[in-house]
Structures are given as C-alpha cells and as structure tokens.
Amino acid sequence: MHPGPISPSRRRISSETIAFRLVVLLLPAVLLVIGSFRTEGDLQRSFWLGALLQILVFSFLLITQRAWHQPLGTAATFLYLMGIGWLWLSRSISDDWFSHVSRFLLLIVPLSIFALQTLVDSGAVASRRANLLAQRISTRKDWPADLADVKSMAEVKAFRDAVAIDASPALRLLEHPRAQVRLAALTALEFRQDWKRGQPEVVIEFAKEAPEPLLRAAAMAALANLEDRLLVEQTAEFLTDPAKDVRRAAADALLWNCEERWPWIRQAVRTALADPAQANDGPLLTEGPELSPDAIADMLGWAAEKGPAAVRAALTLGAYYQRVLTTQADDPILIKALKQQLMDMQAPPALRIELAQVLKVIGELDCTLEERLLDPANPGSLRLLAAEGLLTANNKHPQALVVLHDIARMPNREMALATADVVQRRLGVDLGLALGQPLPPLHSRQAADVMRRLMKWAAVADATPTGNEADGSGSDTKLDKDQPGSAQRRSHGSGTFGLPSGLR
C-alpha cells in the first residue's frame, strides 16, 4: 500500500514527552514511598510493598515500550487505581493532610488524562490545529520560486499530520487562487486512506479543471488509495492526460494495487497504450510492485497487435521482467520461460527484442542463443543485437560479420544508422559518427554521409568476409574498438533498453 500518515509507534518521542510521562507514571510510587515514612510497623511495610508493585508494573511498561508509544490513559489509570487502593488501606493516617492530598492527586490526575485523551480522540484538537495551519498557509506571502519546492516545506508537512483525521481544511484550500496554496493542500492529502463521502470527488473535479500539470499529478498521488470502483475508473481517465508527468503519476497511483484494480482499469490502460500521442512515453511502469497475472496476460496479447499499443506493451513487459530479475533473486523458471519466448518465431517481434535486452542485462543471453538469433528468419533488429553481442566477445566472429554485411544493405535509415553504430564501435571502422554524441537525425546530411560510408563498407566483400574485412580494415580509418560515448549513442531515440525506435 502506498504510504499513509506515520503511525504513532514510528514517531520520534520528544524529551519533554518522556519527562512528562515519567512524572505521571511514577507519581503513585513516590506518594507511597513518602507515606511509608509517615507510618510504622505493618502499615509501613504495606506501603513499601505497594511502592514495589508500582515499580514492577512501571518496569514492565518500560520494557514493552508501552510507556512511550501507547496512549497514557490506560497505564496511568491502572497505576493510580493501585495507588489509591493502597491509601484506602491506611486507616491510621486517614485524617492526615498527606492522605487527603495523595487521594486528591490519585483521583484528579487520571481523570484529567482521560478527559484530555477523549478530547484528542474526538479530533477537536487536530481540527483546530488544521484550521490554524490552513489559515496560515492561505495568507502566506513568501513562497519558493520553484512550485515543486512547496512539497518539502516544514509547514506543509505539519499540515499533513494535522489533517490526518479530517481532510476538510485541505479541501477548502483547493479553491484558493494561488497555485502554491493548492499544491500545499494536495501534498497534505498524498496517499490518504480515510475519505469522507464526497471528498474524493472534490479532488477528481479539481484535477480535471487544474491547468498546472504539477497540481494534476499531485491530485493523482492524493487519490492513490481509493477503493471505490467508480472513483478508480474516473482516476484512470488521467492515463491519457496531455502532460506526461500526470500520466506517469496516474499510472503509479493506479497500478500499485494491480491485483485488485486491473479489471477496473484494463480498458483505460489499453486506450493509453494505443494513444499515438503517448508513443514516446516508453513503458507504462518502470518501478513499483509486481503486475498481476491478468495484467501480464493482457500485455502479452496487446504486444501481438500493431501500432503504439504493441510497442508500449512490449516495453512495459521488458521493464517489468528486468526489474523482477535484477531486484530479486534470479528465477530459473522465469528465465527459462523468457528464453523460450525469445526463440519463438511466432512471438511478437517487439516483445522478442525487449526480452533479448532483458536477458542481456542479467547475463543470460549466451553465445549459443545469440548465434541462433543470427538466423535470417529473425527480425533484423534482433539479428543486429545478437551480432553485436558476439562481436563484443570476438570481433572476428564470421557469422556475426556476415549478418552485419547483410543488415547494412537493408533500405532502412534507422536500421542503417544502428548498424553503423555497431560497426564503428565493435570493428573500429570510421563511418563518420561523432564520438560521445547521439546518432544524427534520420534526414540530416550527416546521416546520409554515414549511410554512404556504411554501404561502401558493406560492398567491399561479398557475404563471406575476407580477413581484411574481419579485421575492420576495409574502410578508410581504424578506430578503437570501444569508443567513449558509445553508450550515449545507443540510448538515443530508444525505449527502455536503448534500441532505436525503428528497430522494433
């Protein structure tokens, strides 16, 4: 579950609170000790016994930490009732002034604590504090220059604790004309679990009308713990928000509880993945909890379709599998299943490319698999990925060189630039790519020059490379086999795993 307010057991106890609780809990024992000095004989021993029992009970509370983290009322009532019971046994000092003062203290202190605890539990104190903080925030004049810095303000954090019982003071601030005030209110509502009837609808309507993407994203975080299906479905509409940050916040807020919510948001997710305006968003989720089996099954089905939905579903699955296999212990069953799917010719090409990248990242894409991927029946981008892996281990691998010559002749600019990148980095052939720079735009003059050089390199020999070609000397200039900045070029124009978009 997304984080909510800090529980009492996790809050740091101040020294003033510790001192106050010590005084309150030890007072009955102190009164009994003082009473023992005012008596003699059996009555004195009775007072000492009562004081000893008080100390034992207090020690138990101290060891179990209930003296610090639990409400004071129950423990204090028990100790004070024990104390007043012992005093009632002291008939011989019933007319002594100390007896009257002790009884007064042992009665009034627990009653006062009970009254105060009742007042706090009623929410009246928190409500008053929340209203005071809301008024202070609404009238504040000096705000950070960067709107995002509002979230880290100490005053906003205090406001979040104050509205833990009732969100009304924060909801009223959503009507304030200043954006900083509205953001402070939404930050105080982040990951809220307890809503009163009609309150989530106020946040949803605010998000629909707010012009600032940052405020809409903050509203998504506030709605992350909704349990009502209709409200979750309304929140899912923000998966197609015009702003990327809002779409990402909506996905994070909705999919953390994928097991329960997937049937409710499935169609909204499908619509978002198929939206051409979001084609460059990459995977739907890059971190977070595991996807449900139903979600994985739907993603596999969508990856077999055409268009943006197929590409983004494949990217999402790739990112998910990589996160599972890198953050948790290696799962041999899952790795075996991914390898089988990678070698399945009927599997969607975009998904196979992402699976190959996942296996490569975790070190499970061995030379045997890479050599099988060189088969002409596989997509060109998959063959290029396998050829690069083989050339990394052996830059004279004959089959990989044949594949590079084959792919270099394909009439596809994106494929040609990606191939030129591999040839220049792995074979040391100068094809005109700038060191430490991303690949040039497809229709630029530099891209055309790179393609001409690549075609010239590919035309030097036939399908079986000569020794000179395998050496990378069939071109004008030799470069180092691994150039600085090559990783930056590989990531240009890519999805999650660095392949150019045209290779999918």
Residues 245 and 306 in one domain: no
Place of tokens 């379709």: 305
Within a domain: 322: yes
Residue environment code for 297-317, b if the CB has 16+ CB neighbours within 10 A, otherwise e: ebbbebbbbeebbbbbbbbbb
The answer to whether residue 21 sits within a structural domain is yes
Taking 90 as the threshold, does the pLDDT of residue 480 lie above it? Answer: no
pLDDT at position 437, please? 83
Please indicate, yes or no, if residue 138 is contained in any of the structural domains.
Answer: no
CA-derived radius of gyration, the chain: 35
pLDDT at 67: 52
Is residue 215 a contact partner of residue 186, using CB atoms and an 8 Å limit?
Answer: yes
Range of the domain at 358: 259-365
Q: Which residue has the tokens 């975009």?
A: 350
pLDDT given for residue 467 in this prediction: 45
Lowest-confidence segment of 72-81, 105-114, 287-296, 312-321 by average pLDDT: 72-81
How long, in residues, is the chain? 504
* 140 belongs to a structural domain: no
User: What are the helix (H) ranges across 428-471?
Assistant: 445-459, 467-470
Beta partners for 494? 500
Question: Does 192 lie in the same domain as 281?
Answer: no
Overall average pLDDT of the 176-204 stretch: 94
Q: What is the pLDDT of residue 180?
A: 94
Is 184 buried (19+), middle (13-18) or exposed (0-12) by CB count in 10 A?
Answer: buried
Q: Do 277 and 201 belong to one domain?
A: no
If asked whether residues 404 and 482 sit together in one domain, one would say yes
Residue ending a domain, among 365, 397, 428, is 365
pLDDT at position 472 is 42
Same domain, 160 and 118: no
Report pLDDT digits (tens) over 116-155.
777 666 666 777 888 999 999 999 999 998 998 999 999 9
Question: Is-contact 201 232, C-beta < 8 A?
Answer: no
What pLDDT is stored for residue 485 in this prediction? 42
The span from the CA of 441 to the CA of 23, in Å, is 74
- Three-state SS for 494? strand
pLDDT of residue 463: 44
- Both 383 and 495 in one domain: the answer is yes
The rounded distance, in Å, linking the Cα atoms of 381 and 500 is 9
Residues 485, 444 within the same domain: yes
231 lies in some domain: yes
Give the residue from 364, 489, 359 showing the smallest Cα distance to 426: 489
Res 10: pLDDT: 43
280 and 167 share a domain? Answer: no
Identify the band that residue 249 occupies on the pLDDT scale cut at 50, 70 and 90.
very high
Q: What is the pLDDT of residue 492?
A: 36
Distance between alpha carbon 357 and the CA centroid of its chain, in Å?
23
| Co-location of 41 and 81 in the same domain | yes
Identify the pLDDT of residue 182: 95
Neighbours of 254 (CB within 10 A): 27
- Confidence class of residue 488 from pLDDT cuts 50, 70 and 90? very low
In this prediction, residue 329 carries a pLDDT of: 65
Torsion angle defined by CA atoms of residues 376, 382, 388 and 390, in that order, rounded to the nearest 10 degrees? -60
How much of the chain is in helix, strand and coil states, percent to nearest 5?
65, 0, 30
pLDDT single digits (tens) 464-477 = 444 444 444 443 43
pLDDT above 70: residue 496: no
pLDDT 10s digits, 268-311: 999 999 999 998 899 998 787 789 999 999 999 999 998 899 99
pLDDT score recorded for residue 340: 93
Domain count, the chain: 4
Task: Give the CA angle between residues 302, 307, 311 to the nearest 5°.
Answer: 60
Q: Which residues does residue 478 pair with via DSSP β-bridges, in sequence order?
A: 429
Look-up: residue for tokens 């196979």? 352
Residues 491, 348: Cα–Cα separation, whole Å: 22
Distance CA 21, CA 27 (A): 10
Q: Which of 365, 387, 414 is the last residue of a domain?
A: 365
Convert the pLDDT of each residue in 418-444 to its tens digit: 999 999 888 888 888 888 788 889 889
**Helices and strands, counts by H and E, the chain:** 25, 0
d(C-alpha 310, C-alpha 34), whole Å: 82
Q: Are residues 44 and 118 in the same domain?
A: yes
- Domain membership of residue 346 (yes or no) is yes
What is the residue whose two structure tokens read 């740091």?
A: 12
42-84 pLDDT, tens per residue? 777 888 888 888 888 888 877 776 555 566 777 778 888 888 8
* Per-residue pLDDT, 121: 67
What does the pLDDT read at residue 486?
41
Residues 251 and 168 in one domain: yes
Assess whether 445 and 490 both reside in one domain.
yes
Lowest pLDDT segment from 6-15, 246-255, 397-406: 6-15
Here the CATH number for the domain that contains residue 175 is 1.25.10.10
Terminal Cα distance for the chain, rounded: 35
Signed CA dihedral, 303, 306, 312, 315: sign only: positive
pLDDT in tens, 345-378: 999 999 999 999 999 988 888 899 999 999 999 9
Domain boundary among 73, 98, 122: 122
Residue 471: the pLDDT is 44
Q: Using the Cα atoms of residue 385, residue 391, residue 397 and residue 398 in order, give the sign of their dihedral.
A: positive
- Asked if residue 286 belongs to a domain, the reply is yes
Main-chain phi, psi angles of 95, to 5 degrees: -95, 0
Is 142 within the bounds of a domain?
no
